[in-house]
Homo-oligomer: A and B are copies of this chain.
Amino acid sequence: MTPIPDQIHPPQRLLMGPGPINADPRVLRALSAPLIGQYDPAMTHYMNETMQLYRGVFETRNAATLLIDGTSRAGIEAVLVSLIQPGERVLVPIFGRFGHLLREIAERCGAQVHTLECEWGEVFRPEQIEAAIREVQPTLLALVQGDTSTTMCQPLEEIGAICRREGVLFYSDATASLAGNPLKTDEWGLDAVTAGLQKCLAGPSGSSPLTLSPRAVEVVHARRHVEAGISSGDDRLAEPGARIRSNYFDLSMVLDYWGALRLNHHTEATSMLYGARECARLLVNEGMDNAIARHALHGQAMVEGLKGLGLALFGDQAHRMNNVSAVRIPDGLDGEGLRRSMLEDFGIEIGTSFGPLHGKVWRLGVMGYNARRDTVLTTLAALEQTLRRGGVQCVAGGGVGAALDFYQEHQDQPVGERP
């Protein structure tokens, strides 16, 4: 008989990889609030507040702004399976691992997927995407905003207008980028955006905020079906479109649950809703522009420090996300061994990458609650020690020094001070 383990008691870690990162303590506290019933007026009120708060985070007026109960990839699948009818053409420009994921999910939804690829470490120019749209004539363009696998941030500003002109729905996966980089859902003409909590939103993985434009809602509603077990018989469309292939991810049903009808679907994940609400509340309170500026400041300080340690950055720096950077692992160094030392000796986690970059780069995240001066400087100090111990020549104090110089030159934020 296996002995019964003790209560949870995780080691203290400073999570400076590409996510998940340490959640804001206020978010963790929100998770442990007492439960209430799913149709309690207090609960539906919290659901409405959560929708309104995420409108602030996504910078949108979309009524259809809500949470999917699952990780960020659940939000992606909900959008794709609800918007794509089998056989429809979908265009996926791929600049990293998560573009491959969008392709793969769209294929499973029955789409004819057309892709466009660029080197890992680069992004697409709007003309490239426009030309591909003209050629493929897709129903939907699915485009990652920030791909942590390469640290790149795809500019989206001009893509929405192209999609409108061509009559294409425009979806972006902003899991890694939202709240750390500008994303203006309405101004940029996005029809669907999904995210997760575990990056710049400073929460745990497990809830996926998403927003749908009225245009996208129309597509979803045309495929509405009510479950037999709760149908009143007169609530069905006369000629609904092809039934969405998933029940859990059927956004027409999820909208009926979050909307005025409050039709039973899943049982909303109350604790995660509390946490997701707190993530958005903290951001809206700080102001999205301030939150993005905070990520830019501390993300750049980390980059200056990495350069100060003599490390070479990976990828097109003009298009790097504010919140993640990648550096090449010095030749001959055991990159995984160094990551392990950082974790075991200092309790600091940094990341490696996937596919073509696996074992070639380390990725450092500066995001959410960890977008702070003390986390950046502590990480750089530990990294210098670990590199030296691994036989790499570094200028003593080169990393922390460069970061401190950068902070001095820019609007300095004292350790621990947060809005």
Contact = CB atoms under 8 A, between A and B. Distances in A.
Contact of A227 (B104, B248, B343): B104
A66 interface: no
A23 interface: yes
Contacts of A335: none
Contacts of A98: 229
B70 A69 contact: yes
A399 interface: no
B35 A23 contact: yes
Contact of A264 (B4, B49, B74, B354): B354
Contact of A28 (B9, B97, B271, B355): B271
Contact of A71 (B5, B53, B266, B274): B266
Contacts of A105: 247-248
Interface stretch (A278-286, A293-301, A372-380): A278-286
Nearest to A203: B271
A349 B49 contact: no
A229 B354 contact: yes
Contacts of A26: 7
Contact of A70 (B5, B110, B248): B248
A173 B196 CA distance: 28
Contacts of A32: 28-29, 31-32
A52 interface: yes
A231 B97 CA distance: 10
A9 B274 CA distance: 10
A102 to B, nearest CB: 10
A227 B12 CA distance: 32
A325 interface: no
A100 B229 contact: yes
A33 B10 contact: yes
Interface string A268-311: 11111011011001001100000000000000000000000000
A66 to B, nearest CB: 14
Contact of A267 (B97, B149, B198): B198
B205 A268 contact: yes
A40 interface: yes
A103 B285 contact: no
Contacts of A249: 246, 248
Interface stretch (A14-22, A161-169, A179-187, A408-416): A14-22
Nearest to A225: B104
A11 interface: yes
A34 B14 CA distance: 10
Nearest to A243: B108
A38 interface: yes
B20 A35 contact: yes
Contacts of A196: 267
Contacts of A99: 229
B13 A40 contact: yes
B97 A229 contact: yes
Q: Which of A33, A40, A228, A354 has the most CB of B within 10 A?
A: A228
Interface of A: 2, 4-5, 7-13, 15, 17, 19-23, 26, 28-38, 40, 42-43, 46, 49, 52-53, 69-74, 77, 81, 96-101, 103-105, 107-110, 149, 196, 198, 204-206, 227-231, 243-249, 264-272, 274-275, 277-278, 281, 284-285, 343, 349, 354-355
